Amino acid sequence: MNEVALDASVVLKWFRSHEEPDASPAEEIRSRILDGTLTPLAPGLLWLEIINVASRKWNWDGKQLASLAKHLPGMGFRIEEPTLGAIARWCDAGLTAYDASYVAVAENAGVNLVTADREIVRLAGGIATPLVH
């Protein structure tokens, strides 16, 4: 089975694909997860970022947020928590601690991180690959 790390910049596109740029490649990844040919990895931070965006940016109400929180763990992700040392090393390279968490998960698992964040690709190019080439 293939594995890949995904960050919030990719996963958030699944929730509002009609409004998101480059949603089609993100949807292709989601299809592979659903058909069982791809296992996604991420730190637990992913769930916090999704709920935060749904609340703050999309203005979802309490009922919508509760439903989201209930369904997130069933999205097929293997949650891996990176070491603080790995996060610190990537922060030293210029990433935020949040972005460093995703890179560290990918690095530890020996997989690529797919992201729509150009800064992550620039700073962690050996591990991070762009959603759209």
Q: Residue 18: its pLDDT value, please?
A: 75
What percentage of the chain exceeds 90 in pLDDT? 90
Is 3.40.980.10 the CATH number for 2-130?
no
In the block, residue with structure tokens 């929180």: 69
Q: Does the pLDDT of residue 20 top 90, yes or no?
A: no
**Mean pLDDT computed over 5-30:** 89
Q: Residue 80: its pLDDT value, please?
A: 97
Torsion of CA 53, 54, 55, 59, to 10 degrees: 110
Q: Does the pLDDT of residue 115 top 60, yes or no?
A: yes
Confidence category of residue 100, pLDDT binned at 50, 70, 90: very high
Three-state DSSP state, 96? coil
Domain ranges of the chain: 2-130
Q: Residue 114: its pLDDT value, please?
A: 97
Residue 93 is which amino acid?
A: A
pLDDT digit string, tens, across residues 21-49: 778 999 999 999 999 999 999 999 999 99
For 14, 20, 72, 127, 132, the CA distances from 28, given in Å and listed in that order, are 10, 14, 19, 20, 12
